[in-house]
């Protein structure tokens, strides 16, 4: 089985892929093909993808049971003692490459803490966002209490 994920690709490539694979969501294709067809599909993707990005995952024998290929992607596929891992570039490398915050480069709060080491600031941001949500949204008991106090 293979899974292909495309972003910012020409329509003709999407049409070609539907010959062998089923498009289950926009830019996401799945199917069961032979290794020869898989290689042909990957070659076609690399030739036609232009400025877009492509990722292919397929099942294979081994410890993880899958293989991964990427094209024009900010993350790299790395083999580490027989395990396939995805290496995300450091924040400084992303800025040097001139890349903005693309979909693969958006960092969560844990990654920000990891890169900056500012645990206090991240904790304060989390608390503020929770407090902000509580201020905007009242539960049923709070709404009854407010409406009861407004009536008196």
**Domain residue ranges of the chain, discontinuous segments joined by +:** 1-99, 107-152
- Is the CB of residue 101 less than 8 Å from the CB of residue 108? no
What is the third-level CATH fold of 1-99? Alpha-Beta Plaits (3.30.70)
Better pLDDT: 22 or 62: 22
Q: State the pLDDT confidence band at 88, using cuts at 50, 70 and 90.
A: confident
At 20-30, the pLDDT tens digits run 999 999 999 99
CA-based max dimension of the chain: 77
d(C-alpha 129, C-alpha 37), whole Å? 49
At 94-113, the pLDDT tens digits run 555 544 444 444 444 455 45
Better pLDDT: 77 or 56: 56
At 38-60, the pLDDT tens digits run 999 999 999 988 888 999 999 98
- Segment 123-152 shows an average pLDDT of 58
pLDDT at residue 44, as a whole number: 93
- Is the CB of residue 66 less than 8 Å from the CB of residue 1? no
Question: Using alpha carbons only, how large is the chain's radius of gyration in Å?
Answer: 23
């Amino acid at each position: 089985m293979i899974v292909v994920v495309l972003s910012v690709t020409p329509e003709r490539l999407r049409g070609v892929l539907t010959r062998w694979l089923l498009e289950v969501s926009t830019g996401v294709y799945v199917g069961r093909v032979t290794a020869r067809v898989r290689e042909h599909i990957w070659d076609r993707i690399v030739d036609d993808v232009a400025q877009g990005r492509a990722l292919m995952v397929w099942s294979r024998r081994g410890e993880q049971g899958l293989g991964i290929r990427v094209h024009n992607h900010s993350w790299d596929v790395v083999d580490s003692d027989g395990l396939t891992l995805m290496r995300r570039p450091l924040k400084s490398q992303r800025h040097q490459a001139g890349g903005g915050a693309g979909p693969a480069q958006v960092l969560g709060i844990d990654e920000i803490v990891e890169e900056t080491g500012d645990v206090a600031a991240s904790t304060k941001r989390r608390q503020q966002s929770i407090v902000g949500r509580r201020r905007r949204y009242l539960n049923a008991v709070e709404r009854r209490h407010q409406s009861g106090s407004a009536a008196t």
